[in-house]
Amino acid sequence: MDLKPSKVLISAESNAVLSDVSGIGGTTRDYLAPEMLDIPYPLAESKESRICNDIWALGKMFMEMGHASSNDIEKQQLKSIAQDATVDNPRSRPSLHDIASFLSNI
């Protein structure tokens, strides 16, 4: 529920590693899915809702990566994933497995 670029590190092996997974309980408004913005305490939502939020946040990060990329093919692929992950309807968002599968085929 607090996935954002500053919490993703790249290892020496070029793997993305999540950091600061303390469970203290906080969210960053800029990375909350639209359906979570008006909820007073998003961390209390169902596991399914929180997963949908994280998929949306991941999509937003991919969109930012696409904007920063100088490689046109990479830019288009990242933006394509981002568009799927940030659709308004949470039930229409791809699963993390689907996103990982797409990334492994790039």
- pLDDT tens string 20-72: 766 666 788 899 999 999 999 998 999 999 999 999 999 999 999 999 999 99
32 vs 50: CA distance, rounded Å: 10
- pTM score of the predicted model: 0.87
User: How confident is the model at residue 104, as a pLDDT?
Assistant: 82
Q: What's the number of domains the chain is made of?
A: 1
Q: Residue 106: pLDDT above 80?
A: no
- Residue 88's domain comprises 5-104
Tokens at 64, concatenated: 């930012």
b/e map 11-20, b = 16+ CB within 10 Å: eeeeeeeeee
Q: Domain of 52: which CATH number?
A: 1.10.510.10
User: How confident is the model at residue 102, as a pLDDT?
Assistant: 87
Percent of the chain scoring above 90 in pLDDT: 69
Q: What number of residues does the chain have?
A: 106
What is the C-alpha R_g of the chain? 14
Beta carbons of 88 and 34 less than 8 angstroms apart: yes
